[in-house]
Amino acid sequence: MGLLQYFRQEKPKKGSAKLAKDRLQIIVAHEHSCAARPSYLPEMQQEIVAVIRKYMDISSNDVKCEFSDKADDDMSVLEVNVALPKNR
Amino acid sequence: MAKVIVVTSGKGGVGKTTSSAAIGSGLAMSGAKTVIIDFDIGLRNLDLIMGCERRVVYDLINVINGEANLQQALVKDKRISDLFIMPASQTRNKDALTKEGVEKVIADLKADGFEYIICDSPAGIEQGAMMALYFADEAIVTTNPEVSSVRDSDRITGMLSSKSYRSEQQLTPVKVHLLITRYCPERVEKEEMLSIDDINDLLGIDLLGVIPESQDVLNASNLGEPIILNQDCDAGKAYQDAVDRLLGIDRDFRFITYEKKGFLSRIFGG
Ligand SMILES: Nc1ncnc2c1ncn2[C@@H]1O[C@H](COP(=O)(O)OP(=O)(O)OP(=O)(O)O)[C@@H](O)[C@H]1O
Ligand SMILES: [Mg+2]
């Protein structure tokens, strides 16, 4: 490698470790919340939707089931949100 | 009380076998009767790293299947008197590792007076890896300062707290230690590599040791000598510190900061 080329070489970007840490923080937190999610959740969600749809004209996209299990809480929370379109 | 310690990681090639060999040897040198079991069925390697490959006759699967007894399968180390190796099978597949089989081998080793039973886990989260960690009392999660290794370490830590005998029986949880290997203080200094603090923040596991990236490790594997026997090199010393900490001795962390070489030492070396 010539001397000129050596000096022209791109220096590695400083701070890529910071990006690595940020990305890991997000994915690790996400995977923890998934791990805490009971395995029956998707099936239960479908059944809840089916029950509601017996009485109301909604689509499965109008129902959101969120399970959260934060380490610093002493409770897990199951949230069921049903968006009801008006005039129905 | 005998202790079962798994050396695990999720990700492959991060230094589990190197660490099992070094730490097992270190524990045996402290005078505790120690066995290192190779759980990497089909990809036996511990024998090579320990330099006893030509003395392997029977293996772990032979013992589980009753084709050999424990004493026939254990390979005694020629350098360290209290150290034994239990090789993995090179020919069978990993489904040959049954929970009952592994449980019996571990119970027999305990009855035989072994104080430390080190389980060198294969990579991945399949049968071999799950069996290696299932009966663990303690775990050494081996991690490189690199994104995929850190993520996998977090994953395997989750397994230790949900898929182990201790978790299933609701006993005291497996005690988890973090071992960072292939650490380059210089690259950390340049912010090109995750630092010890970064990894600590992410994983939240007690730090057992930091092993620097070192050419001596390759050299030791060429010779079939566990790196801890080379007490002249940084990696060997760092493993010894980790063993001491396992034994409850306080040791400062070494080889974790980068000292810029001065002009003179750059010219004259050293
Ligand atoms: N501190 C170190 N410095 C430099 N090289 C290292 C270090 N530790 C391990 N290595 C090298 O990394 C490679 C993988 O090591 P090792 O076989 O111990 O990993 P492993 O986790 O057991 O792999 P596998 O998942 O395949 O079982 C080897 O070539 C070894 O020499
Ligand atoms: Mg290995």
Distance B15 CA to ligand 2 centre (A): 7
Cα-based distances in Å from B76 to A42, B187, B263? 53, 40, 49
First to last CA, chain B: 45
Kindly tell me the sign of the dihedral angle through the C-alpha atoms of B46, B50, B53, B57. Answer: negative
E strand or H helix at B141, and its extent?
strand B138-143
Q: What is the ipTM of this complex?
A: 0.86
Q: Inform me whether the C-beta atom of residue A35 falls under 8 Å from chain B C-beta atoms.
A: yes
- Mean residue pLDDT across chain A: 78
Size of interface A-B (CB pairs under 8 A): 45
- pLDDT of B233 reads 97
Residues B74-111 pLDDT 10s: 999 999 999 999 999 998 777 889 999 999 999 999 99
Contacts of B188 in chain A (CB under 8 A): 17
Query: Are β-strands B138-143 and B75-76 bridged in parallel, bridged antiparallel, or unpaired?
Result: unpaired
Q: Is the pLDDT of residue A48 over 90?
A: no
Rounded Cα–Cα distance for residues B162 and B143 (Å): 20
Contacts of B151 in chain A (CB under 8 A): 24, 27-28, 31
- pLDDT of A85 reads 74
Residues of chain A above pLDDT 70, percent: 76
* B4 DSSP β-pair partners: B117
* Residue of B151, B162, B192 with shortest CB distance to A24: B151
- Amino acid, single-letter form, for residue A47: E
Q: Is the pLDDT of residue A59 over 90?
A: no
Distance B14 CA to ligand 2 centre (A): 8
| B194 to A21: CB separation less than 8 angstroms, yes or no | yes
Q: Whose CA is nearest to atom 31 of ligand 1?
A: B218
Cα B231–B233–B235 angle (5° rounding)? 95
Residues of chain B with pLDDT under 70: 261-270
Enter the pTM of the model. 0.86
- pLDDT of B75 reads 98
A40 — pLDDT class (breaks 50, 70, 90): confident
